[in-house]
Amino acid sequence: MTTLPPYVGLLGRAWHYVFRIICGLILLYLILPVLIVIPLSFNAEPYFSYPMPGFSMRWYQEIFHNPLWLLSMKNSLIIGFFATILATTLGTVAALGLSKRDLPYKGLIMALLASPMIVPIVITAVGMYFFYSKIGLTNNLLGLILAHAALGTPFVVITVSATLVGFDKRLVLAAASLGASPAYTFFKVTLPLVLPGMISGALFAFGTSFDEVVVVMFVGGIEQRTIPRQMWTGIREELNPTILAVATLLTLFSVLLLITLEMLRRRNERIRGIRS
């Protein structure tokens, strides 16, 4: 609980509590849809309204008994895993290159790398479809992995670049002066220091891939459906609480992701000697 300084007047104290009430109302407005969806996923009947006649786990069991949901989960995990590995590798290399002071056109290169975050996803999906269709990368997992890696790379570049801001370049020079090879210096000096940023970027890249639906609809086929696309199809064709059960699981996954990111942030601050 924050204690106000004794010099704060009545008006300042009033604003202190009003500000917190406003923040609480905004937070409630943002999470209210989630608070509504989660209980309905346990509804015993296939209805989307309150009051619920009873509670049941039937819709969660349906996820693991329906071959379409199992296929979409498998595809999402495969695409997300390999796209994250590729995005983390490319993003880390790009961030290390951008950290060099003598790199020409650094701002332009950074803008190009961050463009997938800025350009509307529909435009990106259309461009990927026309490009991938010419080289035979549509309707297969490889095309989706490459597409999602392109969407996740900017997150890795940004997080690793933020980690490199406080990086002491003298450590690399010291390792080189002691006879260490560039590869040895990278794995023993640079990598441990940028690892929190890499992990944070990898989590963002995986979350982006796991949540993406527009590119999948353009580049993927029926056999490459992912969880978001299966949810989209279910909403259009057969609306039932199974979608709410999947949404609840994805919400839980997002919460765990945020907790992990916060733990990594605090660990990074402890390494850099910053106190919260």
**267: closest CA among 204, 196, 200, 187?**
196
CATH number of the domain within which 96 lies: 1.10.3720.10
pLDDT in tens, 5-52: 777 777 877 888 888 899 999 989 988 888 888 888 888 877 777 787
Confirm whether 29 is domain-assigned: no
Q: How confident is the model at residue 136 (pLDDT cuts 50, 70, 90)?
A: confident
pLDDT in tens, 43-89: 887 777 778 787 888 888 888 888 888 999 999 999 999 999 999 99
pLDDT of the residue at 273: 57
Range in 170-174, 179-183, 267-271 with the lowest mean pLDDT: 267-271
In Å, what is the CA distance from 257 to each residue of 91, 205, 227, 275? 20, 11, 17, 23
The reported pTM is 0.81
Confirm whether 192 is domain-assigned: yes
Q: Report the chain's C-alpha Rg in angstroms.
A: 23
Return mean pLDDT, the chain: 84
Judge if the upstream peptide bond of residue 182 is cis by omega within 30 degrees of 0.
Answer: no
**250: closest CA among 258, 239, 262?**
258
Confirm whether 24 is domain-assigned: no
Structural domain range at position 77: 59-271
Q: How confident is the model at residue 276 (pLDDT cuts 50, 70, 90)?
A: very low
Cβ burial, residue 227 (10 Å; 0-12/13-18/19+): buried
pLDDT of the residue at 268: 66
Confirm whether 117 is domain-assigned: yes
Q: How confident is the model at residue 118 (pLDDT cuts 50, 70, 90)?
A: confident
